[in-house]
Amino acid sequence: MTDIVATNETILVVGGGISGMTAALEAAETGKNVVLVEKNPALGGRTSQLYRYFPKLCHPTCGLEINQRRLKNNPRIRVLTLAEVTGLEGATGNYNATIKIRPRYVNENCTGCGDCERAVETEVPDPFNYNMGMHKAAYLPNSMAYPQRYVLDPAIIGTADADKAKAACKYGAIDLDMKEETIQVKAGAVIWATGWQPYDAAKIQPYGYGRFKNVITSVEFERLADIHGPTGGKILRPSDGKEAKNIAFIQCAGSRDENHLRHCSRICCMASLKQTHYVREKYPEDGKSTIYYIDIRAIDRFEDFYQKVQADPSVSFIKSKVAKVTEDEHGNPVCHGVDTEGYKRYTTPHDLVVLAVGMEPSVKGINIPGHIVADSSGFIEADPANGAVFGAGCATNALDVNRAVQSATAAALRAIQVVNKVAKAEA
């Protein structure tokens, strides 16, 4: 049974991505007790699935590593992985959360040696790589997973493979009798940092995602470029494994569209501009990027980043929302539309089409008891009616990492004020 000491002076943080981690750390470093709940087996969220992030094009491992060290050194944070908040009751200063914890089948003895992975034969789709590749059913969620502990996929429980894994473990870390459990956690304030999910590109029917193998999403493209991704960091197209050198980026795939997402997802322009760097990095000689856009919104202070990409001869910009994508006899995706600068029709084949998909709040459709006020896109609003449930990061708006961290710090400050009042440390 998972034991947690939590009082109404505890801050509950829901979601362990960059926002949740930041909010938890900021609160804990001021001396508050924090319970951090993450639904995946490891922290880091979507940020950990990026190859590099803008504007400096450093690897997310860097920023996450700093946060992981802060977490390890802070005894005030209790991290729960494979855990989901299924109910939330109460009011400001006195919440009671119901948390469902799924079994990991691996206990704290795990050293991350990987013997179980080598022993197991079953392979399952790897969600860290957006199911583009397979991994063993005994796996480390990703190379820098925190906690650095293996997980057994529930699919092999009760099979010979599970026994093989158990037999292979020298440390007695595998516990096949783990069961799902439900616990109650008290909290004075709640930070809701459930992040975002990529918009379901298959709903944008004319773009053919799901029908054409060489139409992929921007988040999948991140995994293709990453050395830990399904192609080992080579940009290869899914249909035939051919090097994809002529790549089209379609902006506003789902965003700014009344039929899909009403809001501008903000990060996608910068993400595509960033991804043109990947194309040049992998194919410095003959890589070619084409960005189809309505207008480039290089958010924040990143206009210079945009100008540098514009100056790059391997990148061309076409001011047009692509009307539809078809596939030619060689499996090349073909973009159809009208260049609004000159009103010329184009029918242009590419090796690969990358849809810069929009951000949909993960809170959307999740029924959290205690009415949470959200805007028309499902992002949490800062509303007094939410009591001491504070949104943080992409649960509140379409944000990049930088702004998500700012938002998380703000949420932590709000939560700290609430628990200070509970503790009578603040009027």
Site residues, another protein (CB under 8 A): 206, 252, 256-260, 294, 319-324, 336-340, 343-345
Half-sphere exposure of 145 (CA within 13 A, CB side): 20
Cβ proximity to another protein: between 132 and 338 the closer is: 338
Secondary structure, 3-state, 145-169: CCCCCCEECHHHCCCHHHHHHHHHC
Is the backbone of residue 194 left (phi > 0), alpha (psi -120 to 50) or beta? alpha
Beta bridge partners, 92, equal none
Cβ proximity to another protein: between 136 and 260 the closer is: 260
Give the nearest distance from C-beta 272 to another protein in angstroms.
16
Cβ proximity to another protein: between 214 and 320 the closer is: 320
Cβ proximity to another protein: between 41 and 358 the closer is: 358
Cβ proximity to another protein: between 281 and 339 the closer is: 339
The H or E element that residue 64 is part of is: helix 60-72
Give the nearest distance from C-beta 261 to another protein in angstroms.
10
- Spatial distance between the Cα atoms of 156 and 397, rounded to a whole number of angstroms: 38
Give the nearest distance from C-beta 344 to another protein in angstroms.
8
Give the nearest distance from C-beta 346 to another protein in angstroms.
9
User: In Å, how far are 195, 318, 319, 352, 423 from 344, measured between CA atoms?
Assistant: 40, 11, 11, 22, 67
Cβ proximity to another protein: between 237 and 263 the closer is: 263
C-alpha closest to that of 411 among 195, 100, 184: 195
Cβ proximity to another protein: between 166 and 260 the closer is: 260
Give the nearest distance from C-beta 74 to another protein in angstroms.
45
Sign of CA pseudo-dihedral 126, 131, 132, 134: positive
Cβ proximity to another protein: between 124 and 298 the closer is: 298
Token reading at 33? 């007790």
Cβ proximity to another protein: between 134 and 264 the closer is: 264
Secondary structure, 3-state, 304-364: HHHHHHHCCCCEEEEECCCCEEEECCCCCEEEEEEECCCCEEEEEECCEEEEEECEEECCC
Give the nearest distance from C-beta 335 to another protein in angstroms.
9
CB contact burial 384-393 (16+ within 10 A = b; e otherwise): eebbbbbbbb
Give the nearest distance from C-beta 405 to another protein in angstroms.
31
Cβ proximity to another protein: between 174 and 261 the closer is: 261
Give CA 6 to chain center in angstroms. 28
Token reading at 303? 């206009």
Give the nearest distance from C-beta 265 to another protein in angstroms.
13
Cβ 220 vs Cβ 211: under 8 Å: no
Cβ proximity to another protein: between 163 and 257 the closer is: 257
Cβ 378 vs Cβ 391: under 8 Å: no
Give the nearest distance from C-beta 358 to another protein in angstroms.
11
Give the nearest distance from C-beta 363 to another protein in angstroms.
24
C-alpha closest to that of 265 among 217, 204, 198, 215: 198
Give the nearest distance from C-beta 336 to another protein in angstroms.
6
Q: List, in order, residues 6 or more apart from 202 with CB less than 8 Å away.
A: 209, 210
> How many C-beta atoms surround the C-beta of residue 417 within 10 A?
13
